[in-house]
């Protein structure tokens, strides 16, 4: 997709946070999110922090991101149902709650670019603000309906459709294959 590379990256993180931290079903099985230290480690990995880095993700920050992931899920579900108003109001609420504000940063030899900072100066807070902003950019664009929830049976994982024609319906290739196989069997029995 072509919002800009930063937006694409944070929307991808939003998808992974929802799929990692919210309970439901995944690829035909019940999905229970990780807990405790495992959850902190998984979230740190999603955010590209690396486990041995100087910054360790605490339980409180993992809690904060879990709450954000639940709110992000509602946005994906609303768009999937065609209820863009609810999705937009949800994103506005998240922008308020995360105190998202743009800030120009320059680091690691990159040119100046916009980052989004959140409440408290924590990495989790900044990511929450970034994810909310990323979804705001998507919903405010012509590609607002590119957020989705997997349509395969027993799966409610979310995705962002970056295909050119916008025809994606599944979270993953395994779900697409499950549905294809079931349809094939149905035709041949």
Report if residue 42 touches Zn ion, rule: CB under 5 A: no
Which region among 72-80, 85-93, 107-115, 155-163 touches Zn ion (by CB under 5 A)?
Answer: 155-163
Of 168, 116, 172, 117, the residue nearest 147 (C-alpha): 168
Q: What string marks each residue from 92 to 131 as x (binds Zn ion by CB under 5 A) or -?
A: ----------------------------------------
In the list 47, 72, 150, 158, the residue contacting Zn ion (rule: CB under 5 A) is 150
- Does position 149 interact with Zn ion (CB under 5 A)? The reply is no
Q: Does 175 bind Zn ion (CB under 5 A)?
A: yes
CB-based burial label for 18 (10 Å; 0-12, 13-18, 19+): buried
Which residue number, 100 or 171, has a Cβ lying nearer to Zn ion?
A: 171
**H or E segment to which residue 159 belongs:** strand 158-160
The answer to whether residue 18 forms part of the interface with Zn ion (CB under 5 A) is no
Q: Can you give the three-state secondary structure of 114-153, one letter per residue?
A: EEEECHHHCHHHHHHHHHHHHHHHHHCCCCHHHEEECCCC
In the complex, the smallest distance separating the C-beta of residue 173 from Zn ion, rounded to whole angstroms, is: 10
**Which window, 50-58, 89-97, 148-156, 179-187, contacts Zn ion (CB under 5 A)?**
148-156
* Residue 127 · residue 47 · CB < 8 Å: yes
User: Does position 160 bind Zn ion by CB under 5 A?
Assistant: no
CB of 179 to Zn ion, least distance (A): 9
21 binding Zn ion? (CB under 5 A): no
CA distances from 141 to 4, 6, 108, 146, 187 (A): 12, 15, 30, 10, 40
15 binds Zn ion per the rule CB under 5 A: no
By CB under 5 A, residue 158 contacts Zn ion: no
Asked whether position 147 contacts Zn ion by CB under 5 A, the answer is no
Q: How far apart are CA 118 and CA 97, in angstroms?
A: 9
Closest-CA residue to 16 (of 97, 79, 76): 76
């Amino acid at each position: 997709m072509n919002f800009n590379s930063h937006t694409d990256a944070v929307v991808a993180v939003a998808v992974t946070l929802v799929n990692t931290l919210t309970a439901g079903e995944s690829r035909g099985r019940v999905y229970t999110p990780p807990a405790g230290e495992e959850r902190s480690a998984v979230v740190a990995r999603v955010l590209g922090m690396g486990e041995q880095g100087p910054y360790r993700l605490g339980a409180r920050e993992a809690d904060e991101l879990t709450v954000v992931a639940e709110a992000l899920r509602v946005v994906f579900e609303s768009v999937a149902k065609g209820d863009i108003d609810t999705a937009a109001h949800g994103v506005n609420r998240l922008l308020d709650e995360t105190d998202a504000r743009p800030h120009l940063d320059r680091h690691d030899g990159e040119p100046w670019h916009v980052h989004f900072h959140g409440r408290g100066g924590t990495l989790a807070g900044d990511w929450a603000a970034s994810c909310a902003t990323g979804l705001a950019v998507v919903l405010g664009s012509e590609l607002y309906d590119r957020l989705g929830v997997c349509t395969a049976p027993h799966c409610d994982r979310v995705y962002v459709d970056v295909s050119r024609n916008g025809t994606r319906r599944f979270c993953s290739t395994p779900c697409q294959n499950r549905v294809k196989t079931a349809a094939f069997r149905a035709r041949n029995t």
